[in-house]
């Protein structure tokens, strides 16, 4: 079943990892969630803020890429 790219991106925008859970990539989603929580705990300094932004943006971009890969696999099969 094809997955919606926009929905996975929006879910990852709301909270990193949710888009991956939607795609069925549970372990990857949990890793993004844990990384996001750790980054949020470290936002009292500039490195924590930078880490938070990196995790957040990477989660969004990776969920888009993963959705496209999954949908391409469905198209071929």
Contact 9/63 with Cβ under 8 angstroms?
yes
Residue 76 has pLDDT above 60, yes or no: no
Q: Which SS3 state, helix, strand or coil, does residue 57 take?
A: helix
Averaged pLDDT, 61-68? 95
> Which residue is associated with the tokens 């549970």?
26
When pLDDT is cut at 50, 70 and 90, the band that residue 1 belongs to is: confident
pTM: 0.88
Handedness of CA 68, 73, 75, 76 (dihedral sign): positive
Return the structure tokens found at 33. 């969630």
Check residue 14 and give its pLDDT. 96
Q: Which SS3 state, helix, strand or coil, does residue 67 take?
A: helix
- pLDDT single digits (tens) 10-29: 999 999 999 999 999 999 99
């Amino acid at each position: 079943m094809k997955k919606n790219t926009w929905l996975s991106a929006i879910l990852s925008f709301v909270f990193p990892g949710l888009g991956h859970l939607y795609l069925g990539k549970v372990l990857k989603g949990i890793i993004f969630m844990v990384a996001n929580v750790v980054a949020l705990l470290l936002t009292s300094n500039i490195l924590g803020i930078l880490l938070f932004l990196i995790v957040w943006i990477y989660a969004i971009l990776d969920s888009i890429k993963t959705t496209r890969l999954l949908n391409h696999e469905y198209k071929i099969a």
